Amino acid sequence: MKQSIVHVALVVRDYDDAIRFFTEKLKFTVIEDTYQPEQDKRWVLIAPPGSEGSAILLARAASAEQECVVGNQTGGRVFLFLSTDDFWRDYHRMISEGITFVRAPKVESYGTVAVFEDLYGNLWDLLEWSSTHSQSRVILDDLKRGTRGPT
């Protein structure tokens, strides 16, 4: 069996404000923006530049209950992890775009990481994996696909 997560829903107050934030400040791309008249909502998918994995579905809050979770979808924990091939390039660019980092950059055994807020206050990791960690992930992926024998 092979499965994957293709989209993660992010509850937002307003589609256009969220699109502006993600495309202008984080340089994401709008993959799709389709109005669905039968439900009076939009299907808005965004993804980081160069991404080949999961996309984020911007889901406008449609009830008071949903409005309450905007900006706090995980109870104050880091919600999403944005992986980059150049931490310092992206960190400095994001700072210049006015992104708020709530935890300073830190070098960990797995890579360099800092925590930032999106426009609603959800917490994200900006993360560049260490070369050792990246190599381990490639080996694990190969083992899962059966293209590498046990080491």
Mean pLDDT computed over 27-37: 98
Say whether 90 sits in a helix, a strand or coil.
Answer: helix
Q: Are residues 14 and 57 in the same domain?
A: yes
Q: Are residues 60 and 134 in the same domain?
A: no
> What's the first-to-final CA gap in the chain, in angstroms?
24
What is the full DSSP assignment across 5-58?
--EEEEEES-HHHHHHIIIIIS--EEEEEEEETTTTEEEEEEE-TT--S-EEEE
Which tokens sit at 114?
């800092």
Residues 92, 65 within the same domain: no
Which residue, 37, 70, 103, sits at the end of a domain? Answer: 70
Domain boundary among 23, 51, 70: 70
Q: What pLDDT, on a 0 to 100 scale, did the predictor assign at position 133? A: 59
Tokens of 16: 């256009």
Average pLDDT value over all residues in the chain: 91
User: Using an 8 Å Cβ cutoff, are 52 and 83 in contact?
Assistant: no
What is the mean predicted confidence (pLDDT) over 127-131?
A: 92
Can you read off the two tokens belonging to residue 116?
A: 């930032």
Query: How many CA within 13 A on the CB side of residue 96?
Result: 7
Same domain? 37 vs 55: yes
Spatial contact of 7 and 55, defined as CB atoms under 8 Å apart: yes
pLDDT one-digit tens code per residue, 42-60: 999 999 999 988 999 999 9
Question: Tell me, what's the pLDDT at 150?
Answer: 47
| Residue located via tokens 């206050």 | 121
Range of the structural domain that residue 64 is part of: 1-70
- Number of domains into which the chain is organized: 2
Q: How confident is the model at residue 151 (pLDDT cuts 50, 70, 90)?
A: very low
- The pTM for the full model equals 0.85
